[in-house]
């Protein structure tokens, strides 16, 4: 796929009938952040990571500062993909959870094939308006925030060229998520599975529970050991959860 594409293949998914998992990264993140999970899921899953503009191989493209613009940008490619899948699920972490939720809503409104499951990770419910203004932090405040949260190697932030790119991308993504507000009563129809790290400073088990009214289908919530970026350390447990829910929905 060329650089203008929104989707990056992260696994072979070589088995006939492989289930497609479309993964939406966190603020400042890129498609490759789901590489470890893709490898853990193995060939029964075709894992695709969403590559937002302005980073890595799309670094020359303009950044998009709203969730709505991100969804609009990627929808045509996902719509084209879905009829060619043997079934698919969506997985979004942090900011990516809101982007995945809005993408799921649009796909269901299109009467496209419904996802087997929507996985939302490390994120407050769509009805909760963010009270943070991280996108207005000065550079030093934003660097401190990134280091406190983890997920961004300190060495990259010490390099002036990398630091400039990281701060620009991250600030744009935070603007998108901190100005996001979903439509009142917005729901999806597919099963919704909410996940969190048990020591995540930004999202708690109680916060996850607030996702339940946003689906008319089954709701499940699960916590794993770790902070906001718990997924890699729990790749096997998260992969088992994805396998279980994807298979359960697909068998109905």
- Among 30, 89, 94, 125, which one carries the catalytic annotation? 94
- Of 130, 228, 245, 246, the catalytic one is 228
For the stretch 31-85, pLDDT in tens is 999 999 999 998 899 999 999 999 889 989 999 989 999 999 999 999 999 988 8
178 pLDDT higher than 50: yes
The residue among 157, 217, 207, 165 whose CA lies nearest residue 187 is 217
Question: Which pairs with CB-CB distance under 8 Å and at least 24 residues apart come from 57-64?
Answer: 57/3, 58/3, 58/4, 59/165, 61/3, 61/4, 63/168, 63/169, 63/172, 64/172, 64/176
Question: Does 214 qualify as catalytic in the annotation?
Answer: no
**pTM > 0.95: yes or no:** no
pLDDT at residue 15, rounded to an integer: 63
Q: What is the mean pLDDT of the chain?
A: 90
- 132 counts as catalytic: no
Q: Per residue in 111-159, pLDDT tens?
A: 767 899 999 999 999 988 766 788 778 888 888 888 877 767 777 778 8
């Amino acid at each position: 796929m060329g650089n203008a594409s929104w989707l990056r293949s992260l696994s072979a998914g070589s088995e006939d009938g492989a289930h497609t998992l479309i993964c939406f990264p966190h603020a400042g993140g890129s498609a490759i952040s789901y590489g470890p999970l893709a490898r853990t899921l193995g060939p029964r899953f075709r894992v695709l990571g969403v590559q937002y503009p302005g980073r890595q191989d799309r670094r020359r493209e303009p950044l998009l500062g709203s969730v709505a613009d991100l969804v609009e940008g990627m929808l045509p490619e996902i719509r084209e993909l879905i009829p060619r899948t043997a079934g698919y699920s969506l997985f979004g972490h942090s900011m990516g959870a809101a982007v995945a939720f809005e993408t799921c809503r649009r796909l269901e409104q299109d009467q496209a094939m419904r996802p087997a499951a929507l996985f939302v990770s490390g994120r407050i419910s769509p009805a909760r308006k963010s009270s943070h203004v991280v996108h207005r932090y000065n550079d030093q405040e934003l660097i401190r925030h990134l280091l406190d949260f983890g997920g961004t190697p300190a060495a990259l932030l010490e390099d002036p060229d990398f630091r400039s790119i990281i701060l620009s991308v991250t600030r744009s993504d935070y603007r998108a998520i901190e100005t996001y507000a979903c439509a009142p009563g917005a729901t999806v129809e597919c099963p919704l599975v909410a996940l969190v790290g048990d020591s995540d400073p930004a999202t708690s088990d109680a916060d996850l529970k607030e996702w339940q009214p946003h689906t008319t289908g089954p709701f499940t919530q699960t916590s794993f050991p770790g902070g906001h970026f718990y997924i890699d350390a729990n790749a096997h447990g998260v992969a088992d959860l994805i396998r279980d829910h994807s298979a359960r929905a697909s068998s109905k």
